[in-house]
Chain A
Amino acid sequence: MSLVNFTAREITCKLVYYGPGRSGKTTNLQYIHGRVPEQRRGRMISLATQADRTLFFDFLPLELGQISGFTTRFQLYTVPGQVYYNATRRLVLQGADGVVFVADSQARRFEDNVESFQNLQENLLDQGVDIRTLPVVLQYNKQDLPPELILTPAELDDALNFRGVPSLGADALHGSGVFETLKQLSALVLQRLAMAPPEEGVHSS
């Protein structure tokens, strides 16, 4: 959950990139890390296997600047996508203020996307969070691949986006859709903070 410091007027939000293995979650963070001015971001931490697959999480702290008089910081996390890392996915998901679900647009990964999205819902429910109450943005990554290999955003919307949350096509490797996704989720998370009375000060569950 968001941490709000009224004394120092600071807000810290936790955003989690979720999705099946090799869908491009880490690539999203790497692109952001490479493009954001150094003074506005921290070191990107990647706890990965020797084969560069995320083992625990990637972490990238970002400082957005002043919003409504509050210094606003985002902590971006990715989860490991591989099926067998569910225990660590649950841990990283804990206390998330919003989720980007990064789907792999390749037609052959369709089932993996559906399975991972169901897994997201289950892991949130385990923590007492109904996905319908959480800001979520769907990113359909790898839309740059040849059309015969991928599903269109409309087709992926049909399969995954039954709530009608914001969804975007992306090519995370080259940056298309990456900032737009983060922008959409940032707005939803802060909107929620503005509209719903927030947890004040220091809380954790």
Chain B
Amino acid sequence: MKAIEPWVESPLRTFLAESSARVVLLMTTAGQVVAQHGFTRSMDVMSAAALGAGIVASTAELGRTLGGGPLAELVHQGTRQGIFLASFDTPRGRWIALVVFGGESSLGLVQLFFGRMVTDLAVAAPVEEPRRAVLAEDFERDLNASLRALFGR
């Protein structure tokens, strides 16, 4: 499992243990990855987050267009695995969860423990720390070197 901030880990671990989900991805509504379990390539994680955020955003718009509210969750039940996609509020803004589960779990279990994870995350979120500088002022030297390596020029 990999989480951007340590406080996300415990609620996510509990969810994984209790729901028996195979893959979990938490992301912001802009498609930025917050935490993940079960992916092997970081690039795949980013792609899944971009697509998941796109699906949630477009179904929310669809819901509004059809005169209802945004769709709370989306579920696909396949023969070998199911996918659960839902957005939820946290003290750090609105996030999205993408969960993949197999025969060892069920949609009911995922939904049940997902609700608990949302509550646990709300409790675990620490008070925001003061902002601090990220990059050194001379970051451009590193950037130029990285871009040269990336683009071969």
Binding site for B on A (CB under 8 A): 1, 3-8, 10-12, 14, 35-37, 40-43, 45, 47, 56-57, 59, 61-70, 72-73, 75, 77, 87-88, 91-92, 94-96, 179, 182-183, 186-187, 190-191, 193-194, 197-205
B43 touches A200 (CB 8 A): no
- Return 7 A-B CB contacts under 8 Å, by A number: A3-B32, A61-B43, A73-B46, A91-B57, A193-B135, A200-B129, A204-B95
A68 touches B61 (CB 8 A): no
| Residue among B8, B92, B146 making CB contact with A204, cutoff 8 Å | B92
Which of A7, A11, A75 has the largest number of chain B CB atoms within 10 A? A75
Residues of chain A lying within 8 A (CB to CB) of residue B46: 12, 42, 61, 73, 75
Residues of chain B lying within 8 A (CB to CB) of residue A200: 128-129, 131-132
Docked CA distance A42–B57 (Å): 22
Binds A, one of B13-21, B71-79, B97-105, B136-144: B136-144
Binding site for A on B (CB under 8 A): 2, 4-6, 8, 28-34, 41-44, 46-47, 50-51, 54, 57-58, 61, 92-95, 128-129, 131-140, 142-147, 149-153
A67 touches B150 (CB 8 A): no
B150 touches A199 (CB 8 A): no
Docked CA distance A56–B55 (Å): 10
B150 touches A14 (CB 8 A): no
Given contacts A179-B151, A202-B5, whether A95 and B31 have CB atoms under 8 Å apart is yes
**B135–chain A nearest beta-carbon distance, Å:** 4
Question: How many pairs, one residue from A and one from B, have CB atoms within 8 Å of each other in the complex?
Answer: 167
Nearest chain B residue, comparing its CB with the CB of A37:
B150
B92 touches A8 (CB 8 A): no
**B98–chain A nearest beta-carbon distance, Å:** 15
Given contacts A36-B151, A202-B5, A204-B92, whether A14 and B31 have CB atoms under 8 Å apart is yes
Docked CA distance A63–B47 (Å): 13
Nearest chain A residue, comparing its CB with the CB of B61:
A87
Residues of chain A lying within 8 A (CB to CB) of residue B33: 3, 12
List 16 extra interface pairs beyond A94-B29, A204-B93, CB under 8 A. A1-B32, A6-B132, A41-B43, A45-B47, A57-B50, A59-B51, A64-B150, A73-B42, A75-B32, A91-B61, A95-B31, A179-B153, A194-B137, A200-B128, A201-B129, A204-B94
**A64–chain B nearest beta-carbon distance, Å:** 4
**A46–chain B nearest beta-carbon distance, Å:** 11
A203 touches B54 (CB 8 A): no
Nearest chain A residue, comparing its CB with the CB of B55:
A56
B143 touches A187 (CB 8 A): yes
**A185–chain B nearest beta-carbon distance, Å:** 11
**B67–chain A nearest beta-carbon distance, Å:** 15
A203 touches B92 (CB 8 A): yes
**B9–chain A nearest beta-carbon distance, Å:** 10
**B8–chain A nearest beta-carbon distance, Å:** 7
Residues of chain A lying within 8 A (CB to CB) of residue B47: 42-43, 45, 59, 61
Residues of chain B lying within 8 A (CB to CB) of residue A186: 143, 147
